Amino acid sequence: MSYSQFSCAANFLRGRKCIFCGSFKVNRTARGYAKCRKCQRQKSLAQLRREIEILKGFYQQVPAYRLATDLNLDVKSVTRVYQKLRTLLYHTAELEGTVLSGQIEMDEAYFGGRRKGKRGRGAAGKSIVFGLLERDGRVYTKVVPDVSAEQLMQHIKAKTRKGSVYFTDSFRGYQSLKRYGKHHTVNHSKSMVDKKTKNHINGIEGFWSYAKHILYNYRGVSKYHFPMYLKEIEFRFNHRKDNPFKLFLNLFFGYDSP
């Protein structure tokens, strides 16, 4: 990560800018606090610097236990910041999820589980995730209890615009899609891209690979916490053209950056 991506925190670290409202009307107090003359809130600079260092580690996807060692901090302090931010990202990703339209790829993926045996649909002990990806746009993910046609169509109707063009594999759960928009399929038992029609779902499958690569760093995530990790990854993907570190700062400290 380049310094320019971290530079948005420079004035906060120096106590020149309010971390809560973004105002530059800040005084340094005798006990080492930055106090804002506009919103009247204040924060210990030592604590602020520590939390920003933790947010940098979060951005870089450093596991909490490793970052705690690197920064010589209690792992609970790091974990508290990570969990607070993941909770904020979860709710933000859900709230900003717009209705997808145009060309939309969809697929299910299976995460976690230690049991060996059957893979893919029907695999035991795994979290099932349904994903919709607008080509050259956003992705939306949802942990689902099963892959029944009723379950899948519930999320398709809620998160996509009727009349869109849908791309799926040949799973029977998608058969009723043709009543909702144009439906193109690719038979993965034969090829990843249909040689005749060029239909594919490489976009959403690429997202699954991206998500699993990030999750691998954490060496296992519990089913309870998995939805928050998943929404974090969705948020990172949807804001891939932005500076996510700046967005993390804004969310964690609760201000709108000017």
pLDDT of residue 126: 86
Domain 103-217 fold is: Nucleotidyltransferase; domain 5 (3.30.420)
Query: 77 Cβ partners below 8 Å, 6+ apart?
Result: 50, 54, 68
Q: What is the pLDDT of residues 40-50, one digit of tens each?
A: 999 999 999 99
Query: pLDDT by residue for the chain (258 residues), tens digit each?
Result: 455 889 999 999 999 999 999 999 999 999 999 999 999 999 999 999 999 999 999 999 999 999 999 999 999 999 999 999 999 999 999 888 779 999 999 999 999 865 554 555 555 678 999 999 999 899 999 999 999 999 999 999 999 999 999 999 888 888 889 888 899 988 766 656 665 666 789 999 999 999 999 998 887 788 899 999 999 999 999 999 999 999 999 999 986 554
Write down the domain spans for the chain.
3-95+242-249, 103-217
236/244 Cα distance (integer angstroms): 7
180/185 Cα distance (integer angstroms): 15
What is the per-residue DSSP string for 6-21? HGGGHHHHTT-S-TTT
E strands, 45-114, are 103-111
65/154 Cα distance (integer angstroms): 39
**Three-state secondary-structure class, residue 106:** strand
